[in-house]
Amino acid sequence: MEVKYDIVKPNVYSVDNVVYFSLGCDDAIPLAKDVDRIAGRNIGDLKVKKSDLELISDWKFKLTDREHTIPLKDYLDAYDRAHQALGFQSGVTNREGNLLGFSFNVCADTFRSRDNIKTWRALKRELSEPERVFDRYDEEQLIWKVDRTKTLENMRRVYQELDVKIPDNIAHFDVISFRQFSEMSLGVVAFHQIKSETNKAIEKAKAELIDKLKEIEGPALSFDVPSFVKQIGRINFGELTDVVNSYGDILFNPGWPDRLFRIDP
């Protein structure tokens, strides 16, 4: 499928409802505060993972949380304090990013858990043709069969519980730094239409964001950015996170074989 780039200036362009931009590291946090206000007015309040706040506040590495629960403003305040105390410019990193040489100044979302959206969408699709779903399951399962009536009741119940929590639109915001480019960062703001029947709120937020980005200078972006950002997103939303959580003892400890044997004195 052909990708259409809407180029605003050399360091800012959009593809559909995703805006990509480059900026200097010193501009990252001031811009993040603007993005937080724009998202809050039009889409919802941006939040970060608790594990990211703990890292920037206490420098404690821990397993990366899956849910965004901490207001972005609280994280940015902690980032400012750490910046003033330690003088760092590049982003902090979770264990996944550290493995691949990038770090996050910001990784924020307006919705607490993407897993709930995936479940809601799957149930909505399956409830439109439940008998077909059950028939396919029966074809795949030679022994175990489901009680269709009770299963359908449970599907409807879970869908209704999720439906009241699912927003009309969501936004995700990243500012990413890289070891080999210490003075510059990559920013991404992605808007997604979930339940809303119109794109008005997203178009308004996107227009406000682009107006603000016209003031930001940075190196020209290549057209490879969307492809790499998708891969980074998969890293940060599950695939590599699961690997790191399962195998981090070996991935991050070159001396791990020394821990296999206990040599008594």
Read off the tokens for 22: 């480059």
Who contacts 127 (Cβ-Cβ below 8 Å, separation ≥6)?
155, 156, 159
Read off the tokens for 205: 């937020």
| Domain boundaries along the sequence of the chain | 6-111+171-253, 115-163
What was the pLDDT predicted at 92? 61
Please, is 143 exposed, middle or buried when counting C-beta atoms within 10 Å of its C-beta (0-12, 13-18, 19+)?
exposed
Per-residue pLDDT of the chain (265 residues; tens, 9 = 90+): 677 899 999 999 999 999 999 998 888 889 999 999 999 999 999 999 888 888 887 776 666 777 899 999 999 998 888 777 665 554 566 666 667 767 777 889 999 888 899 999 999 999 999 999 999 999 888 888 889 999 999 999 999 999 999 999 999 999 988 766 667 889 999 999 999 999 999 999 999 999 999 999 999 999 999 988 888 777 665 666 677 777 777 777 777 777 766 666 5
Measured over all CA atoms, what is the biggest interatomic distance in the chain, rounded to whole angstroms? Answer: 72
Quick one: how far is CA 212 from the chain centroid? Answer: 22
Element (H, E) at 64: none
What was the pLDDT predicted at 81? 83
The amino acid sitting at 44 is G
What was the pLDDT predicted at 36? 97
Q: How far apart are the C-alpha atoms of 200 and 30, rounded to whole Å?
A: 26
What was the pLDDT predicted at 163? 96
pTM of the full structure: 0.83
Q: How far apart are the C-alpha atoms of 166 and 181, rounded to whole Å?
A: 38
The DSSP code for 92 is B
What was the pLDDT predicted at 188? 96
